[in-house]
Amino acid sequence: MNVEVPQRKFWQYIGPGVLVAVGYMDPGNWATDLEAGSRFGFNLLCVILFSSIAAMLLQSICVRVGVVTGKDLAELCRDQYRPWIKNILWVLAEIAIIATDIAEVLGTALAFNMILGVSVETGVLLTAFNMVFVFILQGKGMRRLEALVLGFVLIILFCFVAQVFYSAPPLMEVLKGYVPRPTSLNSAHAWYVAIGIMGATVMPHNLYLHTAVVQSRVMKSNEAELSYSIRMITWEVILSLSIAFFINSAILIVSASAFHLNNYLDITEIQDAYKLLSPLLGASAASLLFAIALFAAGQSSTITGAIAGQVILEGFMHFHMPVWLRRAIARVLAIIPAWFGVHYMGEHAVGKLLVGTQVILSLQLPFAVVPLLMFAGSKDLMKNWALSRKFKTAGWAICTVIIAANVYMLIRLFQES
């Protein structure tokens, strides 16, 4: 008997992938991409390409796991692992959320500094108030949140299309940057920045978030509906992450064109990039567009971070906390280290702090990827939807590369310290 597949429109599936994609263009990405471009030119574009492909595969697996099991990754960890393992994974996931939130606080503080002229320290404190905005929005429903986040993504995209146009990068050099070469990673610092890019691009909290939010789009009264839902949601996240890939590439390309090619090889701070963009590119709007895009990135990441934090707490611990209280605690835990870091290390250490948060995320990543791949490959959980051998191989290969790169970076840093 032929089962008619519902003709639900593609646009009705838009939303979950957009929420996930903003995590791939948050302020932490800016810091790593800017430093990569200014120090190493176009060489690390290959790392962005690899990380983006890895992200597309892992997020596609998240779609399958969330849709088929009807549970998010945190819930599955709680159900499938012993309590002590579950508790360790929960703590590591919370550390990843705090590291992400620190990056959002610092990025938004820098945007306040650029747009309002306040100090970065004051900007850090002001981020406490933009949480009120998130609380109000979360009461309006997920669809409105998704629409707002999509608006922020389009603002960021527009700003960087304009930035790339202003910077007029050499096309052949850009294309060469996407091809891995032995000289691409020839120092411990290049590895450190590359690991930061990986941590900023493939973010652990996004794996938890995506397995939860895809469930709002599922139709699975029969196999045909289930297959159709998985296919449409997967294409939606690939499209969303393709936009994130372009934005990350654009940040690095603008940095390499404006700074590296003009012998500004030490631009590690976002605020330095802001000050130099307009003079170097000869476009007065360049710096303003940069600041607006940074603010949009900080706000959109704050929204998705709030949702991810709630998913992690409720999934792992089966404990419901009011959203406002959960976010207030998380924001305080982010503001305190961010403020002390800026206060004692100075405003010109913000870039180092941001890159550091992304390295922490990369170190946490295997502890989310390994459970995801184990669940996705389980016949007991996934039935006929368990990963095929080629997808298992690709997933575990990516996981192995992430772990090996982390270990190699730590060894190189230890040797050169």
- Residue 129: partners with Cβ closer than 8 Å, 6 or more residues away: none
Predicted confidence (pLDDT) per residue in 44-73, tens digit: 999 999 989 988 999 999 999 999 998 999
Does residue 311 belong to any structural domain of this protein? yes
pTM: 0.86
Does residue 228 belong to any structural domain of this protein? yes
What is the residue-wise DSSP string for 195-231? HHHHHHHS-HHHHHHHHHHGGGG---SSHHHHHHHHH
Token pair 């593609």 in the structure block, residue? 10
What is the overall mean pLDDT for the chain? 84
Write the secondary structure of 231-246 as one string of H (helix), E (strand) and C (coil).
HHHHHHHHHHHHHHHH
CATH number at residue 357: 1.20.1740.10
Does residue 96 belong to any structural domain of this protein? yes
Token pair 């920045």 in the structure block, residue? 193
**Which residue segment(s) compose the domain that 337 sits in?**
10-385
Does residue 199 belong to any structural domain of this protein? yes
The pLDDT of residue 304 is: 84
For 388, which DSSP code? P
Overall number of domains in the chain:
1
Q: Which residues of the chain have pLDDT under 50?
A: 1, 3
Does residue 89 belong to any structural domain of this protein? yes
The pLDDT of residue 237 is: 92
**How many residues are there in the chain?**
417
For 383, the enclosing helix (H) or strand (E) is: none
Helix (H, G, I), strand (E, B) or coil at 140: coil
Token pair 């130099």 in the structure block, residue? 276
The pLDDT of residue 1 is: 44
Does residue 407 belong to any structural domain of this protein? no
Does residue 190 belong to any structural domain of this protein? yes
339/125 Cα distance (integer angstroms): 8
Which one-letter amino acid corresponds to residue 92? L
